[in-house]
Amino acid sequence: MKLAFVVLSYNSADALLAVLRGLAPQCPADAVVVVADDGSRPDQVDALRRGLPRFACPVRHVWHPDVGFTASRARNLGALYAAQDAQADYIVFMDGDCVPTPHFVRAHLALAQAGHFVNGSRILLGPDLSERVRTRQVDLSALGLFDWVRLRMRGEVNKLSQFLFLPNMPGRVETRFRWKGIRSCNFAIWYRDLAAVNGFDETFQGWGHEDADLVLRLQRHGLARKNGFWSTEVFHLWHKENKRDREDINRRRVMERMQQPIVQATQGLSHAAVATDVVVTELNGQRVDKSE
């Protein structure tokens, strides 16, 4: 399979670069990395280009204008580019504030299975450690067990599950929808399955629960959820919470859909495919496409 990493980002180049520094050493040469940009300012895009680590594989930047929190649209555009232009058939969605552990890619490859999507896991970092990661004072991959134990004792990390690698552990698979623990910041799926449900639903705007809606529709489509705990961990950098003024609205929509036989996104990949306001750039090369 050809692997793609679609990394959501918005005006946080320092955090995004920390994520990419963690991904670069383990990214296969035949993969593709797509930064799905939800409308970052030019200075943030310039900082990304200047600080981009060396990758063995192509790195693309898919940008659309900032019209508010539209993560679903950005992810759809990133996945669409990865599949149609880079011929990727397995997509790992990440967030631009979630630094992968050194065995992250190996874990996702081990867990990939037809008829399943992978719901990944995360480790929460505190404000001080997160700031030192963003400013390159700390390289998480260079920390040893005793360093992490000290950080845990100081409350700078909520668990130490990065030291476990158990991809073949039983009990991972769930066939019924369960809301708890769904995380699009670390989520892997075959593109054919994502396309079958028309991707993320872009009518979910503002923070919250577009990922639960996707999981509900995927399981309605017949896929099983495979949980990636104790294998696929990422380090979630602390940041101020996004505005959650639409969370209740989005939650109610998912609850309503639980009572309905909805499988297809109302506005999803098919809508993203005809977008005319997208700029695609090759970050470790030259500009490759522009739609305007």
Instruction: For residues 212-236, give the mean pLDDT.
Output: 97
200 phi, psi to nearest 5 deg: -65, 145
| Residue-wise pLDDT tens digits, 111-169 | 999 999 999 999 999 999 999 999 999 999 999 999 999 999 999 999 999 999 999 99
Q: Using one digit for the tens of pLDDT, what is the confidence trace for 172-189?
A: 999 999 999 999 999 999
Dihedral sign from CA coordinates of 170, 172, 173, 177? positive
* Number of C-beta neighbours around residue 249 at 10 A: 13
Q: The whole model's pTM is what?
A: 0.94
* b/e sequence 124-140, b meaning 16+ C-beta within 10 Å: ebeeebbbebbeeebeb
pLDDT above 80 for 243: no
Query: Greater confidence, 289 or 176?
Result: 176
CA distance 189 to 116: 7
pLDDT value of position 39:
96
pLDDT tens-digit profile of 149-163? 999 999 999 999 999
What domains, with CATH codes, occur in the chain? 3-290 (3.90.550.10)
Neighbours of 65 (CB within 10 A): 10
CA distance 285 to 267: 32
**How much is the pLDDT for 69?**
87
Report d(CA 16, CA 52) in Å as an integer.
Answer: 9
Average pLDDT of the chain is 94
